[in-house]
């Protein structure tokens, strides 16, 4: 019982201690305000802050910053750095001469307006006065006459003469290089041109590359199919009026017919001759003599001459291998038929020669023989002369 009475006596003290602590905390956290301000309400926070900043005590800095800035070079005991522009500006203001690296000096050159876009000449040395035109008010160095660079000092006569010589040498060298290039280009162009011989021949003589055209190749294939015996020979060229670009040497025809002596012709007339012998001459001989043709004896093929070998006449078709002359036909039984005019009772020979004259005109453009003129009394002449009218002459 005694313990219970002691505990009941201690309980009322704890609430009193708690109340005291709460009052102390409320007194510490409450601002000291005047009664009117409490009654009028709370002021704006911005105005209150401005008043506090205005009344805040400002203390002077212990190390103020100089108005011209801080000179670090002097603080580290180093010599001040002077730029090139500043140094030249000082030299010009001080009246010193132009540096030797910029050219010869003849006295101080004073200018005004440094650091601006308009630089005025204040004084010019007496030696260079004649080289510089008088400066009018408002004129600048950029308007220097004669193309003189305003940033460089005037050149001396010796210097100007040396520059003129160098310029002349440069122009001469440039012209020489251009001429060499032009000549080299012409040599390269000429290298691809065919070699020219006689100027007259170069105009009239056709170009010959050596490679056989397709038409010549096709012609030789047809000759082979006809059973013609021939060989290709080198090009014949005897000036602008005589020659064969792709000649062949005829030595035999189909049906075991020999051509003796062999003649040089072009391929076109050879094909026409081979067709005529195979289709016309050989059947006519078998019909009349019951024997085929064994040998044909020509009197001429290619020959560089005029018509009928007369002076001043036009060039013959023989000059281009475009004609063949025949003097005799030899049958397989050994009988020779001379092309000359046969005797009165040679009826079979007359019939054969008449057939030769008529049938050959189907294959050639010109046929001449005995009776045509005195020049063809002993042979037949066959050629492929081209005429604009397409006319064929057979007599």
pLDDT of residue 104: 47
Is a pLDDT exceeding 90 seen at residue 122? no
pLDDT at 144: 46
Q: Are 206 and 239 within 8 A, CB to CB? A: no
Higher pLDDT, 170 or 49: 170
**Average per-residue pLDDT for the chain:** 74
Confidence band for 111, pLDDT divided at 50, 70 and 90? low
User: Is the pTM of the predicted complex or chain greater than 0.85?
Assistant: no
Least confident of 15-29, 81-95, 187-201, 208-222: 187-201
Q: Which residues of 155-187 are buried (b: 16+ CB within 10 A; e: fewer)?
A: beeeeeeeeeeeeeeeeeeeeeeeeeeeeeeee
Res. 207: pLDDT tops 90:
no
pLDDT range class, residue 253, cuts 50, 70, 90: very high
Residues 6+ apart with CB under 8 A from 137: none
pLDDT tens column, 56-70: 555 554 556 666 666
pLDDT-based confidence at 10, cuts 50/70/90?
low
Query: In this structure, are residues 322 and 243 in contact, taking their beta carbons and an 8 Å threshold?
Result: no
Which of 3-12, 46-55, 258-267, 300-309 bottoms out in mean pLDDT, i.e. has the lowest?
3-12
Give per-residue pLDDT as tens, 297-346: 999 999 999 988 888 888 999 999 999 999 999 999 999 998 887 777 78
Residues 265 and 250: their CA atoms lie apart, in Å, by 7
């Amino acid at each position: 019982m005694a313990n219970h009475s002691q505990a009941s006596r201690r309980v009322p003290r704890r609430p009193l201690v708690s109340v005291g602590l709460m009052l102390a905390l409320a007194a510490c956290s409450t601002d000291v305000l005047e009664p009117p301000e409490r009654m009028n309400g709370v002021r704006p926070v911005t105005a209150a802050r401005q008043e506090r900043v205005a009344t805040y005590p400002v203390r002077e800095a212990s190390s103020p910053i100089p108005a011209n800035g801080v000179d670090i070079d002097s603080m580290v005991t180093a010599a001040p750095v002077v730029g090139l522009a500043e140094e030249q500006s000082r030299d010009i203001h001080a009246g010193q001469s132009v540096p030797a690296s910029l050219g010869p000096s003849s006295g101080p050159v004073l200018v005004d307006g440094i650091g601006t876009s308009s630089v005025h000449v204040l004084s010019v040395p007496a030696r260079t006065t004649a080289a510089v035109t008088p400066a009018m008010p408002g004129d600048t160095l950029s308007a220097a006459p004669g193309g003189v660079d305003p940033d460089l000092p005037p050149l001396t006569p010796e210097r100007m003469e040396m520059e003129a010589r160098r310029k002349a040498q440069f122009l001469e060298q440039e012209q020489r290089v251009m001429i060499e290039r032009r000549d080299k280009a012409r040599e390269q162009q000429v290298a691809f041109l065919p070699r020219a011989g006689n100027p007259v021949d170069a105009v009239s003589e056709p170009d010959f590359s050596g490679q056989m055209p397709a038409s010549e190749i096709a012609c030789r294939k047809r000759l082979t199919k006809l059973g013609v015996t021939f060989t290709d020979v080198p090009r014949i060229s005897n000036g602008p009026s005589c020659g064969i670009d792709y000649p062949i040497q005829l030595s035999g025809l189909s049906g075991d017919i020999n051509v003796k002596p062999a003649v040089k012709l072009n391929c076109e007339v050879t094909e026409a001759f081979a067709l005529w012998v195979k289709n016309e001459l050989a059947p006519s001989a078998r019909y009349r003599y019951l024997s085929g043709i064994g040998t044909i004896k020509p009197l001429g093929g290619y020959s560089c001459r005029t018509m009928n070998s007369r002076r001043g006449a036009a060039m013959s078709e023989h000059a281009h291998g475009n004609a063949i002359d025949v003097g005799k036909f030899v049958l397989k039984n050994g009988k020779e038929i001379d092309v000359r005019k046969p005797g009165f009772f040679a009826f079979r020979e007359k019939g054969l020669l008449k057939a030769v004259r008529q049938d050959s005109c189907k294959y050639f453009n010109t046929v001449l023989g005995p009776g045509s003129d005195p020049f063809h009394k002993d042979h037949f002449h066959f050629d492929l002369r081209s005429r604009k009218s397409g006319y064929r002459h057979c007599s």
